[in-house]
Structure 1
């Protein structure tokens, strides 16, 4: 077990070196990176297409990289926004790493890109542990996945700076327990902003983009997650342990 833990530490340390270099490179270009994480089927791609389209309409220079195990389906869908898009195929790897993103960006990222959205591999476990040199980390969950996801995946939700609920137009049909969900979010990440959206109806898309742009422009007070140790979260997952949850907040932490 010690040998295994040492290996994971080495992998994460190497990734952090690449992430630091990538962050420095992107900061120098004035590019803000938004890391989008969710489980498969959350509606991440459809929401991202809507965000890219709206950002372009308001004159924001925006681009996207999407990662998947196989196929370029997501890149083709995102290209409908007319924003520059590139696909990364991970060849079976369940998460994106900083070196993979760096190799894709350096020869391609359009000059003057203000916002770069990175659609991570659909997975709420491994991607939580890998710094991609991002400025902002967003975790998405659809109402169809159930209200207990924050408690089931405390590292992913505990490290988020924004939590996004998708497919809210289906909430009543699937019996989504909104109060229970918000309570779970508050337990693992007190004070994190929660934005509720529907890409189909357009609800919440403008509000989410406004939050991202405010963060990019330094007009928003950045949220610092309680679970700030990515390395420890990674080791807990791979040792089949559950990360300790923060003490539940005593007051309201998310909008009602």
Structure 2
């Protein structure tokens, strides 16, 4: 008799075990992981740069790991904040996995890090099903992406513990319907917070940092309905997620410059 093995479920189960192990290890040393997911061009790098700079000025020990298919551009931008930053080049892989993240933290992440922000590969499909050992999962969408984004990507938005709208400074120009977007988010993820932000004007600046610190201090995090009942990543059976996607090209808004150039962040290729 032939035995059918669902490779997708096997891969995800292995990742779940690695994620829980990493979460336990980092929590024990006082580090909270924040997983940031979005489409390419959402502006998450610009927002994260400002949040990292804010954390540094407030004396909060933070670090950031950013993943892209190619280029060091995002790490160089985030490095301007003056906090430890590491670039991971996935060589075509469309998402990070928990074991992969663990390897890249080993020997690099400072012991006193209170918050680790992981900027996932720009993609709302594959990364949505991979737990990275995070304590807070944040999904970002810009006002230019359309109010129906949550309905088109229900797994990504349905598993979010915080949803952030970016580039609100141009919301009027693109006729963004905030009420419709909020309604669509609530349809796939009832009760999740939706925060408005602009890296250019500073609207909502500090929201990400404050929510992450609160979770790290033991505060409650939103529990998505989808997480409670389990979820399915919509690829064919047996898919092992060796996809290739276009490189993330986050919008270049809201750069916060510093007088001295930071040290070049470490760059690692991984598969």
Q: Same fold (TM over 0.5)?
A: yes
Residue by residue over 1:89-117, the C-alpha shift from the partner in whole angstroms, topping out at 9 and shown as x without a partner, is 11101111111100100111011000000
How far apart are the structure 1 equivalents of 2:145 and 2:157? 14
Q: Which residue of 2 aligns with 1:197?
A: 197
Partner of 1:140, secondary structure, is strand
How far apart are the structure 2 equivalents of 1:174 and 1:197? 16
Pairing of 1:14-93 with structure 2 (within 5 A): 14-93=14-93
Q: Which residue of 2 aligns with 1:173?
A: 173
How far apart are the structure 1 equivalents of 2:155 and 2:229? 8
Q: Which residue of 1 aligns with 2:220?
A: 221
Given candidates 225, 233, 238, the residue that maps to 2:235 is 238
Q: Of the two structures, which has the highest relative contact order with CA contacts closer than 8 Å and spacing of 6 or more?
A: 2
The answer (yes or no) to whether the contact 1:75–1:85 under 8 Å persists in 2 is yes
After TM superposition, the score normalised by the length of structure 2 is 0.83
How far apart are the structure 2 equivalents of 1:90 and 1:46? 21
After TM superposition, the score normalised by the length of structure 1 is 0.88
**Root-mean-square deviation over aligned CA pairs:** 1.6
Q: CA deviation at 1:233?
A: 2.1
How far apart are the structure 1 equivalents of 2:23 and 2:79? 25
Aligned residues: 235
How far apart are the structure 2 equivalents of 1:87 and 1:158? 28
The answer (yes or no) to whether the contact 1:66–1:88 under 8 Å persists in 2 is yes
Q: Which residue of 1 aligns with 2:142?
A: 142
Gaps of 5+ in 2: 238-271
Gaps of 5+ in 1: 241-256
The answer (yes or no) to whether the contact 2:97–2:132 under 8 Å persists in 1 is yes
The answer (yes or no) to whether the contact 2:155–2:231 under 8 Å persists in 1 is no
Q: CA deviation at 1:230?
A: 9.0
How far apart are the structure 2 equivalents of 1:231 and 1:102? 24
Q: CA deviation at 1:25?
A: 1.6
Name the one with the larger helix percent: 1
Partner of 1:75, secondary structure, is helix
Q: CA deviation at 1:209?
A: 2.0
How far apart are the structure 2 equivalents of 1:62 and 1:28? 16
Residue by residue over 1:155-199, the C-alpha shift from the partner in whole angstroms, topping out at 9 and shown as x without a partner, is 000000000000000100011111110100110001001110000
How far apart are the structure 2 equivalents of 1:222 and 1:20? 17
Q: Which residue of 1 aligns with 2:241?
A: none
Q: CA deviation at 1:239?
A: 3.7
How far apart are the structure 2 equivalents of 1:76 and 1:198? 21
The answer (yes or no) to whether the contact 1:63–1:116 under 8 Å persists in 2 is yes
How far apart are the structure 2 equivalents of 1:33 and 1:239? 30
